[in-house]
Amino acid sequence: MLANPVIEKELKTKMRGWKSPALISAYLCFLGFIVLLFYLSSRESARYSADYFNPRVALELYNSIAMLQFFLLLFITPAMTAAAISGERERQTLDLVLCTNLSSSSIVTGKIVVSIAHVLLLVTASLPILATVFLYGGIRITDLLLLFGFYLLMALFMGSLGIFCSTLFKKSAVSMIVTYITIFCLISGTPILLAIWHVFIMHNQNAPTLYDAMSFMFSNPVFGFSSLFEGMSRGNMILEIFSMRTYGMPQTTGNFMIKPWMANMAFNLVASVIFILLAAWKINPVKRGLFIRKTEAQKANQLKNQAV
């Protein structure tokens, strides 16, 4: 990754100051305070029951921290990437970046990695706090790794979506608004489409199955995130709304069944690649290739055209 000059320059600039360590420390202190409150509340409730500690508290703590980080990625990542290219254009430095020996795809991927690095660093630093639930059981190491993998692909999708909108619009404010509108449509628009299909097409004949819901909401990040907590989301209103139990389970002939988080992660990966390629094609001034470095003649012609 550090072979990309954009990543190397931006990370050195942002990570050498005091703000990044202070932000990580403040975030971990905040999560530690939440953990302390959960365990103190469990200790107080134990005075009025026979059990000293209720293991359900550990699961609720895991769900709460995971949801907090999910919404952190959902709303912070687009804000950090939606102004990556449009901000360069507003500062009138985009032409200077395009005149370098970097390909347009390297510029786009570098901006995405730098933009989501801070958020992913916070998520990675919080993994030991999430791992405290291992002391009480109910969570496996594979669940934690799967959650982190889901975070990674979702951050990549949100970042690539923000970068793509940043290349389409010249103003950062417009790019950010369009990015959040797109995310809002993915979250709330897909359930509305499912409800319309069930009422007006199916005429309420049968309750929608899980596969019916996945056909409309495979791109919904909340739907995919909720399926990661199958059997652990009772009492959590947000997870219960998009829970797999809300829909009729389809009849399966084998043990394997495609779950919403699988479909959502596959969508995030494919959509991220498409958005990155489109963004690289959009900012490429000569449109001759996304991964080809500029030759000296191409750079001379580009500077000549800009001068004219």
pLDDT recorded at residue 151: 92
Using one digit for the tens of pLDDT, what is the confidence trace for 137-173?
677 888 888 988 999 999 999 999 999 999 888 888 8
Q: How far apart are CA 87 and CA 89, in angstroms?
A: 5
Q: How far apart are CA 5 and CA 119, in angstroms?
A: 21
Q: Which residue has the tokens 């030759």?
A: 295
Q: Which amino acid is at 273?
A: V
**pLDDT (average), residues 36-42:** 75
pLDDT surpassing 70 at residue 60 = yes
pLDDT recorded at residue 84: 83
pLDDT recorded at residue 302: 57
Instruction: Give φ, ψ of 248 to 5 degrees.
Output: -65, 130
Residues 6 or more apart in contact with residue 49 via CB below 8 angstroms: none
The chain-wide mean pLDDT, for the chain, equals: 77
Per-domain boundaries in the chain: 20-46+54-287
pLDDT surpassing 50 at residue 55 = yes
- DSSP states along 150-161: HHHHHHHHHHHH
Helix ranges restricted to H, the chain: 5-15, 19-46, 56-81, 84-90, 94-98, 104-125, 127-130, 141-168, 172-184, 190-196, 210-217, 221-227, 237-241, 260-283, 296-307
Using a pLDDT cut of 70, give the percent of the chain over it.
74
Using a pLDDT cut of 90, give the percent of the chain over it.
14
Instruction: Give φ, ψ of 200 to 5 degrees.
Output: -95, -25
Two tokens at 232?
A: 């652990």
Closest CA to 123 of 59, 72, 75, 78: 72
pTM passes above 0.85: no
Q: How far is CA 159 from CA 76, 80, 178, 270, in A?
A: 10, 8, 13, 13
CA gyration radius for the chain? Answer: 23
**pLDDT (average), residues 261-281:** 91
Using one digit for the tens of pLDDT, what is the confidence trace for 102-136?
778 888 888 888 888 878 888 888 888 887 777 77
Q: How confident is the model at residue 185 (pLDDT cuts 50, 70, 90)?
A: very high
Beta partners for 248? 209
